[in-house]
Structure formats: C-alpha cells, structure tokens
C-alpha cells in the first residue's frame, strides 16, 4: 500500500525535470519575483570585490570562446575583464548592503504635512531572468511623520536597489519598504514605469509596451490620497 501511494504521488524523474524546466521558463517570461528580498547565498560577501572580478573574468571569457569568438583580437581581448568589473563595481554594486547610501533624516521644521512627490527619477537596472536592461522613471512620494529626508536621497535609494539583477515588482517593493523604514512611516507610494529590453529586443519583440508597477502604503491606500499622487505623476513638465 505504502509503495503504491509513493508511486502515485511521486512524478517520474523525466516528468519532474519537464515540470522544473517549465517553471523556469514561466518565471522567465512572466517576470515573477519569488520574494521581496533578493535571494542571496550565505557566502555572498566572503569574496572581496577584487576577488569577484578575478573570478568572473575567466567565466565570461569561456562564454565568449564557446560562442566561437577569438579573444586574441584586440577589440575582444579586454572584454571579459571589462564585463567582470562592470558587473561588480557598477551594474550589481547594490547587491552588497555595505553600498546602501546613507539616509540622514532631518526634523520637519516647516511642519510641511502634505505629500511630497519626487517624480521622473531615471533608473537603469537589469532583468534577473535575461541579464539585459530595463529602465524608465520612478515616482516616489511620502507624507512626513515628523522627519524629512534630502531629496537626492530618494534618487540614491532608487539607484541602489536598481544596481542588482531585478524584476520590476521586487524593485518597486524594495524601494517602498526601505523608504518606510528610513522615514519611520507607512505613508509611502512608488510608481515605476519601465521598458524591458528582454521584451522589446528579443522574445515577442514588442517595442511599444511599458510595464507599470506600484506600491501604496499607509494613507496612500486611501482613494483620495492615491488619486492625488497619481494626478501629480500625470502632470507633464
Ligand atoms: Zn527579462
């Protein structure tokens, strides 16, 4: 009896492989995020940046060689090291919490109690499913709980979370939740509007679609406040 049950509930090895592959494919094309936290390994920061660059270089070289490229060519020779440096020092620098920008708070001396909207913050990030860019505008808003933050810090926070392999849903939530923590208030709203090169330059090759994601915390879940935020975002410069 036991054996029969096991046979019935356990898919065949081939079946399981097919299901796993299907799941991986679906994740890739539907751009779902598995959690709000970026999934990280326990040993993520055992290596220094320089050690990571040195370790990535030969791997990227191998990919190029497998594709058939001759790395003795002057134009290609430096590419593996260049890509390794770019990954660690630029594009994916935000994986390391040590690189989080400092978030100094100030007292809300002016007693400004309305919403503050910082709109059209440019961001560039990379899709974690294809490692090609997606980019666009972030609109960030909060209502002060007594503390305020320098405006440029809002840009810096968006930039920090963008410098990771990302999905837009997670990026939006990470910026929103971090801002809630920093500002000690739930009253935070985020909207991100982006073009994904993995949708426009490959796959379905849809050049005209944009992806919009939102985060509404605290008072921004109330219809009036939400609509006010969306109205400000709509206003053209
Ligand atoms: Zn993608």
Out of 31, 127, 139, 166, pick the active-site residue. 127
Q: Is the pLDDT of residue 3 over 80?
A: no
Cβ neighbour number for residue 76 with a 10 Å cutoff: 14
Going from the Cα of 226 to the center of ligand 1, the distance in angstroms, rounded, reads 29
pLDDT in tens, 44-94: 999 999 999 999 999 999 999 999 999 999 999 999 999 999 999 999 999
Question: What's the pTM?
Answer: 0.85
Going from the Cα of 78 to the center of ligand 1, the distance in angstroms, rounded, reads 27
Q: From CA 61, how far away is CA 10, in angstroms rounded? A: 41
Out of 93, 130, 139, 174, pick the active-site residue. 130
Going from the Cα of 179 to the center of ligand 1, the distance in angstroms, rounded, reads 26
With 0-12 / 13-18 / 19 or more C-beta atoms within 10 angstroms meaning exposed / middle / buried, residue 157 is buried
Going from the Cα of 233 to the center of ligand 1, the distance in angstroms, rounded, reads 26
Q: From CA 222, how far away is CA 213, in angstroms rounded? A: 18
Q: Is 129 a residue of the active site?
A: yes
Q: Is 168 a residue of the active site?
A: yes
**Concatenated DSSP letters of 92-109:** TGGGSGGGPPP--EEE-T
Q: How far is CA 124 from the centre of its chain?
A: 9
Q: Is 59 a residue of the active site?
A: no
Q: From CA 214, how far away is CA 85, in angstroms rounded? A: 32
pLDDT in tens, 94-109: 999 999 999 888 888 8
């Amino acid at each position: 009896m036991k054996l029969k049950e096991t046979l019935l509930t356990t898919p065949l090895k081939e079946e399981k492989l097919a299901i796993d592959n299907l799941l991986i494919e679906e994740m890739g094309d539907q751009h779902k995020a598995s959690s709000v936290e970026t999934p990280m390994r326990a040993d993520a920061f055992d290596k220094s940046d320089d050690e990571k660059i040195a370790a990535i270089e030969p791997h990227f070289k191998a990919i190029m060689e497998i594709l058939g490229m001759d790395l003795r060519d002057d134009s290609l020779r430096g590419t593996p090291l260049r890509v390794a440096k770019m990954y660690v020092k630029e594009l994916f620098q935000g994986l390391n919490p040590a690189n989080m920008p400092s978030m100094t708070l100030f007292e809300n001396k002016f007693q400004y109690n309305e919403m503050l909207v910082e709109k059209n913050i440019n961001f560039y990030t990379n899709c974690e499913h294809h490692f090609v860019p997606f980019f666009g505008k972030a609109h960030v808003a909060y209502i002060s709980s007594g503390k305020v933050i320098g405006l440029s810090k809002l840009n810096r926070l968006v930039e920090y979370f963008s410098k990771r392999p990302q999905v837009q849903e997670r990026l939006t939530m990470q910026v929103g939740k971090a801002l809630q923590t920093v500002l000690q208030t739930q009253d935070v709203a985020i909207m991100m509007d982006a073009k994904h090169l993995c949708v426009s330059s490959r796959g379905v090759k849809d050049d005209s679609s944009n992806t919009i994601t939102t985060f509404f915390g605290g008072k921004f879940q109330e219809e009036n406040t939400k609509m006010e935020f969306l109205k400000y975002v709509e206003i053209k410069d």
